Amino acid sequence: MGIKEELSKIAEEMRGELQQACDLQSLEQLKVRVLGKKGSLTALLRGMGSVPPEERPKIGQIINEHREALTAMLESKRDELARREKEARLKAEAIDITEPRDLPGVGGVHPNSRVLNEVLDCFTGMGFEVVEGPEVELDHYNFELLNLPKNHPARDAQDTFYVDDNMVMRTHTSPVQARVMLSRKPPIRVVCPGRVFRADEIDATHSPVFHQIEGLVIDENVSMADLKGTLDAFAKKLYGADIETRFRPSFFPFTEPSAEVDLTCFNCRGKGCRMCKGTGFIEVLGCGMVNPKVLSMCGIDPEKYSGFAFGIGLERITMLRYGITDMRLMYEGDLRFLKQFR
Ligand code: PHE
């Protein structure tokens, strides 16, 4: 067999094997078998000795051409195999980002926030707007404008944290009333939730920091009946149609007349239980008709307008709502407590 025939035979075999080669390793072996030191093509080159000298350049050229062609074939096959192997690997290593996993612990809404949201929903549903005021408050708003001048005995009832002579940690949310009246014109209908501060000893029912929700309505011809109707609607919406309000006369310098409001005990529904100490009622808020003196100090004409205000103690209704017997639980951040409200 002449060299040319051998060459085409080698090329033919290589084509066949290339087609079958299915991984880089078998491709490497094929390369060694043909082009390696002991490869078939290399053997042909070694056999040049038996070729007549005048034909050697020609034959040598043909062999080199084959060598280049075969090398090119090998390389393109190698590229193809490498690409396919990479694709297969990427596919095998693909991460399914939609696969469900164990989730980190999910938090819950604090019971106080839950009840606050319900209360605010109830009032915004009746057309009230939610407004907030500062926690560090001027004495002027916290006391003076609310008809509690310096040396007024009622100031003692609120154990105030003073920041300096003119500034306090607000002792109630009522200063927001004054701010709203000074900055808006009637009709006014707002609820003002927020933290308040009093120098109380900490125990099961007292905390130096707690929350109130203030309400204020000012318009022409607003009466005590509107106050009662509003609070009735609030109580029924929050706790059910069988809940009633009971007004008891009381005193606040900024309202006249003033009342404290009890709701039918939502634990026993009025029958009398430990929670309501057998009375069937639970005290939840203070309220009254805005004192005309306060109206005029805050720039509203008491001849033309009247209004009512109320202040709900948030912690109290949260505790009663969930049967929480110690207020401290609500501030300590103990997960065993909080997890019950997920
Ligand atoms: N601010 C009063 C308190 O802290 C509650 C209250 C608000 C009373 C509005 C009447 C009107 O106890």
**CA distances from residue 181 to 218, 219, 228, 312 in whole angstroms, order as listed:** 9, 11, 22, 19
Phi, psi of 97 (to 5 degrees): -75, -5
Q: Which of 160, 172, 228 to mutate to test the pocket of ligand 1 (most atoms within 8 A of CB)?
A: 172
Phi, psi of 276 (to 5 degrees): -100, 15
328 near 306, Cβ under 8 Å? no
**CA distances from residue 205 to 194, 282, 285, 334 in whole angstroms, order as listed:** 18, 14, 15, 18
pLDDT for the residue numbered 179 = 97
Q: Is residue 41 scored above 70 in pLDDT?
A: yes
Q: Give the CATH fold of the 111-341 domain.
A: BirA Bifunctional Protein; domain 2 (3.30.930)
How far away, in angstroms, is 259 Cα from ligand 1 center? 10
Number of neighbouring beta carbons within 10 Å of residue 133: 19
- Hey, what's the torsion of the CAs at 62, 64, 67, 72, to 10 degrees? -100
Q: Which of 147, 160, 174 to mutate to test the pocket of ligand 1 (most atoms within 8 A of CB)?
A: 174
Q: Whose CA is nearest to atom 6 of ligand 1?
A: 311
CA distance 218 to 162: 30
Which atom of ligand 1 approaches the CA of 171 most closely? Answer: 4
Question: Is residue 201 classed as helix, strand or coil in its secondary structure?
Answer: coil
Q: Whose CA is nearest to atom 5 of ligand 1?
A: 311
317 near 115, Cβ under 8 Å? yes
How far away, in angstroms, is 241 Cα from ligand 1 center? 26
Q: Please write the tens of the pLDDT for every residue from 88-142.
A: 999 999 888 888 888 787 778 999 999 999 999 999 999 999 999 999 999 999 9
Q: How much is the average pLDDT of 38-46?
A: 79
pLDDT for the residue numbered 1 = 61
Percent of the chain with pLDDT over 70: 99
DSSP H/E element including 181 = helix 174-183
Q: Please write the tens of the pLDDT for every residue from 267-294.
A: 788 888 887 888 989 889 999 999 999 9
Q: Please write the tens of the pLDDT for every residue from 209-260.
A: 999 999 999 999 999 999 999 999 999 988 889 889 999 999 999 999 999 9
Q: Is residue 59 scored above 90 in pLDDT?
A: no
How far away, in angstroms, is 6 Cα from ligand 1 center? 110
pTM of the model: 0.70
Question: Is residue 136 classed as helix, strand or coil in its secondary structure?
Answer: strand
The 3-state secondary structure of 58-127, one letter per residue = HHHHHHHHHHHHHHHHHHHHHHHHHHHHHHHHHHHHCCCCCCCCCCCCCCCCCHHHHHHHHHHHHHHHCC
How far away, in angstroms, is 194 Cα from ligand 1 center? 13
Domain ranges of the chain: 3-93, 111-341
Say how many Å lie between the first and final Cα of the chain, rounded.
89
How far away, in angstroms, is 82 Cα from ligand 1 center? 79
Which atom of ligand 1 approaches the CA of 146 most closely? Answer: 1
pLDDT for the residue numbered 157 = 61
Which atom of ligand 1 approaches the CA of 258 most closely? Answer: 10
Q: Is residue 160 scored above 80 in pLDDT?
A: yes
